[in-house]
Amino acid sequence: MNSINITGAGNAPAEVDLFFVAMTFFLPAGVMASSVGNMLIGEEGQSVWRIYASPISPKNLVKSKLFLLYVLSTVVLLLTGIVGALFYQTSLKMTATAFITGFFVILAVGAISLSIGFKGADFSVARRTRMIRQEWALISIVVCALAGLAVLAPLIPFAIGKFAAGLMGGGAAPVDPVTLALAIIISGIIASVIAFIFYKVNLNSAAELIRKAEV
């Protein structure tokens, strides 16, 4: 809403619009993925016994939590992205790039936040509003932010080029579609590697959670 007030006056430079476009597409979805991932295990509370009592496998537990996390985060990405695209009148190329890389951010951040949610889950009734221990919540903020930046890193040179062109008073050079596609592919590879690694971590954490119940 602040970005609408600032840019609605019509005197904000294009570089400011670019910043707010990125915030609109990436921040809400990334925060949703991080927050939901942190809470999905701890929110079970004292009812965690249902996981212990059910015949669910570690793989199915992780898949169910990730599925819910990714669906909710993708819905947020679509809603905020559509609003951002309509308000800022972004080009088709920029909109498609933002949606694709936004999903890559969700993919990586979601897997990381769920693994931290396993490690820092708080099942006590006294702290139901947290669902994750405070120190682990702080760790999650830092790690998820770094992961998001890593996923977006291949696209950062394009943003820097646009900012630099604006500061020098000239127009930004047209973006080569092949170079942009290559950057998106690299971003997808980075997100996939992070998601795969932390998927394995989540499997181990889920197996440990179930094993503790059996003991």
Q: Which two tokens stand for residue 160?
A: 């820097």
pLDDT digits (tens, 9 = 90+) for 168-212: 655 555 677 899 999 999 999 999 999 999 999 999 988 887 776
Length of the chain: 215
The residues spanned by each domain of the chain are 2-214
Map residue 174 onto helix, strand or coil.
coil
pLDDT digits (tens, 9 = 90+) for 28-56: 999 999 999 998 887 765 555 565 556 67
Best CA proximity match to 47, nearest among 120, 115, 132, 125: 125
pLDDT of residue 215: 44
Q: What pLDDT was estimated at residue 172?
A: 56
Compute how many other C-beta atoms are within 10 angstroms of the C-beta atom of residue 127. Answer: 14
What angle, 0 to 180 degrees and rounded to 10, lies between the N-to-C axes of helices 92-119 and 134-152? 150
Classify residue 1 as exposed, middle or buried by CB count within 10 Å of its CB (0-12, 13-18, 19+): exposed
Q: Please give the pLDDT value at position 52.
A: 56
pTM over 0.95: no
**Cβ(41)–Cβ(65) under 8 Å?**
yes
